[in-house]
Amino acid sequence: MKTSENMPAFKFMESFWLDWMSKDPASTSWNWKADAKQRGDNGKKDNLQDWNHDEFVLYLATVVSKAKSDWGIKFTFVEPFNEPSETWWEFPGKQEGCHFSVDTQQTILPLLRKQLDALELQDVAIATSDENSATEALHTLESMSSNADVMGSFEKVNTHGYQGLEAYRGPDRGGLKDLTNKLTKSLWDSEYGEKDATGLTMAESIGLDINEMGVAGFVYWQALDSGGWGLIQSNPGDKWIGTPNPKYYVMAQYSRHIRSGMQILASDDAKTVLGYDSAKKLLVVVTVNMGDAQTVTFDLASFAAVAGPINAWTTETSGKGALYKASTVKPSGKSFSAAFPAGSVMTFEIEGVTLAA
């Protein structure tokens, strides 16, 4: 195996740099690849030898099976690719990776489904293809959509929320949402990250992904990472963990209040996320103010009943104000107003809310 001098030491692992606990390998094993490297000589060409397709899917299914039988870990999904269409997986590099053409992806997906079934893992679904952006995910899905065998092999579409290393701001959120709905597939933003430590960019992205792309899941890249990339500052290579960025508390506005099983309601503001718990009659509103301090009024006239009370939490992303301040807001009939600090994220939990029939 040829090793890259640029690969950080903490990424070196037993068994050819592969994390055998992972359901989402960034690369296949080096000895199955065309050039015996974790990144290929030509990032535009398939780098998994075609005679090793069966070996690759057997490896994936075996890890999932062993995790279930020996470790008591049950995977819900297995994803065989990571940004497969990208052309930057070339030797040498700092991250393992492997280019797969769309045609090769379409070959591997049914093979993986067959191998999972052979190991009695019918309850484990497949996700694909973790492309770098919604634009690339849409292109890949469009290319696959006419192949019935491929469409029948997977249940979830994963996309990453990047354009390179920047947050995705392209035009194809709506197109990807429409196509996944048409194909009756669920959709996740399975990897998102950027260097804005304030969390404002992330908050805007969460709103856009949920409201315009219709994602059922939003996954942050690494909770612990250096600079603004981490929710908490950390240098993995130095084994150092520092203080939380404001971004950590911004994420908490969403993850602590919009809970699993809640219904996501349509919002007329792409940056405002609405979650509803019908059992508790609880409406959750999470929204971001990207600009100067202002007072915002929320109109809840479309709901059948709004009783209150209203509890609120505020994160000021400058790092100089409240990071997670709790307060209450007084309702006025079916509306309420709140004062937003500059560059802030606020959550409102409104009790006694009933949806209109």
Which active-site residues does the annotation give? 83, 191
Q: Which residue, 272, 286, 292, 289, is CA-closest to 208?
A: 272
- Cβ-in-10-Å burial (0-12, 13-18, 19+) of 149 comes to exposed
- Per the structure block, which two tokens stand in for 291? 């600009």
How many distinct helices (H) and strands (E) make up the chain? 7, 20
- Say whether 205 sits in a helix, a strand or coil: helix
Rounded to a whole number, what is the distance in angstroms from the first to the last CA of the chain? Answer: 64
Q: What are phi and psi of 62, to 5 degrees?
A: -65, -40
Give the number of C-alpha atoms closer than 13 A to the C-alpha of residue 134, restricted to the C-beta side.
Answer: 28
Q: Could you tell me which residues come within 8 angstroms of residue 184 by beta carbon, excluding any fewer than 6 positions away?
A: none
Backbone torsion region of residue 217, taken as left when φ is above 0, otherwise alpha when ψ lies between -120 and 50, otherwise beta? beta
Alpha-carbon distances, residue 268 vs 192, 212, 216 (angstroms): 24, 11, 18
According to DSSP, the residues that pair with 274 across neighbouring strands are: 265, 285
| Whether the bond into 25 is cis, omega within 30 of 0 | no
- Give the C-alpha separation, 160 to 133, whole Å: 5
Token pair 């994420």 is found at: 251
Chain centre to alpha carbon of residue 152: 23
User: The tokens of 153 are what?
Assistant: 């092999």
